[in-house]
């Protein structure tokens, strides 16, 4: 089977980690008889330098012609001027909106052998295996009116709008239920229904859709309670579904549970991942940024990006067995004691980006 992957390495460590993810995908291709074809494009600072835009129409068209997108990271001090007209992150927002990538999935799993590399106590993070499903194309970040103005008296005002349609809420809630069905069948819908009207609609729609998913246990939690519970008792959660802004904050908080930014993958899907072998179009990227402090030095941890390709295999190509092969290859390499610098501890063997990629490649090949 042939799969077309659009590859946007981006800036900083983006190219370092994306190279290793391609190495892993090629190993999957050799072992399972699939043909992965890559088309490369620019996004972020490197695209601004070449074209004056963070994402060109041609690159966007190339992405929509493919079956999935693999992205590295964007940004860096070179493009940090707050007065700049174009910023690397504009490319991220543009691609999410243009490709209707409404569901952002961020799994956080604490591997027993990594328990001591987080800033939280081992007994708190033990057994953590959760998935945050964040709405990505609506709410405060996109809602209108969104503007700033001066009143007659000359004082400044600004407004952002947390707007949600029934359709937008229903598709992300359904995504949460579908994913919970394939896991421990527990869905926590997070809102602020005690204060916000959009949250009250959110909660009502979640309750209505729950009738279609009797096997899944649904609970509702206020976002402030959720922020607290994530640190107090993170093992409580299976799947969390929430709106854009709440999800942005909660996913960053949840990422702390696992030790290093270099370990966490993500998927942003344009369809509901229904059934046993979902085939939703999606964009896959590590959760970390461009890490300019270590870019090009063979120091970046490629595991987050490699695990993102496992998500691509599972959610865009319907290749669950192949995805599991990538995940267990990563686990085996960690069990063998190999670590990149960010997750290094006493008695372990340090590996660079490329060495780590090659170790995982070898394990995938079996």
In whole angstroms, give the CA distance from residue 113 to residue 104: 27
DSSP string, 276-306: SS----EEEEESS---TTTTTTT-S--HHHH
The window from 113-121, 168-176, 232-240, 285-293 that contacts ligand NAD (CB under 6 A) reads: 285-293
Among the options 35, 224, 293, 336, which is catalytic?
Answer: 224
Which member of 76, 139, 176, 247 binds ligand NAD (CB under 6 A)?
76
Q: Does 293 bind ligand NAD (CB under 6 A)?
A: yes
Catalytic residue list contains 51: no
Residue 73 or 193 having the CB closest to ligand NAD? 73
Q: Does 289 bind ligand NAD (CB under 6 A)?
A: yes
- In a 10 Å sphere around its CB, with 0-12 CB exposed, 13-18 middle and 19+ buried, how is residue 74 labelled? buried
In whole angstroms, give the CA distance from residue 216 to residue 177: 7
Q: Does 74 bind ligand NAD (CB under 6 A)?
A: yes
Q: Does 308 bind ligand NAD (CB under 6 A)?
A: no
What secondary structure letter does DSSP report for 255?
Answer: H
DSSP string, 301-331: --HHHHHHHHHHHHHTS--HHHHHHHHHHHH
Which member of 96, 174, 192, 288 binds ligand NAD (CB under 6 A)?
288
In whole angstroms, give the CA distance from residue 334 to residue 322: 19
Q: With beta carbons less than 8 A apart as the criterion, state whether 300 and 294 touch.
A: yes
Q: Does 261 bind ligand NAD (CB under 6 A)?
A: yes
CB of 44 to ligand NAD, least distance (A): 7
Q: How many residues does the chain have?
A: 366
Site string for ligand NAD, 326-365 (x = CB under 6 A): ----------------x-----------------------
Residue 17 or 241 having the CB closest to ligand NAD? 17
Residues facing 6 on adjacent strands = 39, 69
Q: Does 24 bind ligand NAD (CB under 6 A)?
A: no
Residue 247 or 262 having the CB closest to ligand NAD? 262
Q: Does 73 bind ligand NAD (CB under 6 A)?
A: yes
Q: Torsion angle, CA of 287/292/295/297, rounded to 10 degrees?
A: -130
Phi, psi torsion values for 19, nearest 5 degrees: -55, -40
Catalytic residue list contains 109: no
Which stretches of the chain bind ligand NAD, using CB under 6 A?
A: 13, 17, 73-76, 92, 261-262, 288-294, 300-301, 304, 342
What positions carry a catalytic annotation? 141, 192, 224, 248, 252
């Amino acid at each position: 089977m042939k799969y077309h992957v659009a590859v946007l390495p981006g800036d900083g460590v983006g190219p370092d980690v994306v190279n290793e993810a391609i190495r892993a995908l090629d190993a999957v291709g050799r072992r399972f008889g699939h043909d992965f074809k890559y088309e490369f494009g620019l996004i972020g600072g490197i695209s601004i330098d070449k074209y004056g835009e963070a994402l060109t129409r041609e690159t966007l068209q190339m992405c929509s012609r493919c079956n999935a997108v693999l992205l590295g990271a964007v940004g860096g001090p070179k493009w940090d001027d707050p007065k700049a007209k174009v910023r690397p992150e504009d490319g991220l927002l543009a691609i999410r909106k243009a490709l209707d990538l409404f569901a952002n999935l961020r799994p956080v799993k604490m591997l027993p052998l990594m328990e001591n590399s987080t800033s939280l106590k081992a007994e708190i993070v033990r057994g953590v295996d959760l998935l945050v499903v964040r709405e990505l194309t609506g709410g405060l970040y996109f809602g209108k009116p969104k503007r700033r103005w001066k009143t007659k008296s000359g004082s400044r005002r600004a407004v952002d709008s947390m707007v949600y349609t029934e359709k937008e809420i229903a598709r992300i809630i359904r995504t949460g239920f579908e994913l919970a069905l394939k896991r421990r069948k527990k869905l926590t819908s997070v809102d602020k229904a005690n204060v916000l009207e959009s949250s009250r609609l959110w909660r009502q729609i979640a309750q209505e859709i729950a009738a279609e998913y009797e096997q899944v246990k649904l609970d509702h939690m206020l976002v402030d309670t959720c922020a607290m519970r994530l640190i107090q008792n993170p093992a409580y959660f299976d799947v969390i579904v929430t709106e854009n802004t709440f999800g942005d904050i909660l996913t960053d908080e949840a990422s702390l549970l696992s030790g290093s930014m270099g370990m966490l993958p993500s998927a942003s899907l344009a369809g509901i991942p229904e059934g046993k072998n979902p085939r939703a179009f999606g964009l896959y990227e590590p959760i970390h940024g461009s890490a300019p402090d270590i870019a090009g030095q063979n120091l970046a941890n490629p595991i987050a990006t490699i695990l993102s390709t496992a998500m691509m295999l599972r959610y865009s190509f319907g290749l669950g067995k192949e995805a599991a092969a990538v995940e267990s290859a990563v686990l085996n390499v960690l069990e063998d004691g190999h670590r990149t610098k960010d997750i290094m501890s006493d008695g372990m063997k340090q590996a660079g980006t490329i060495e780590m990629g090659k170790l995982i490649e070898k394990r995938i090949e079996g």
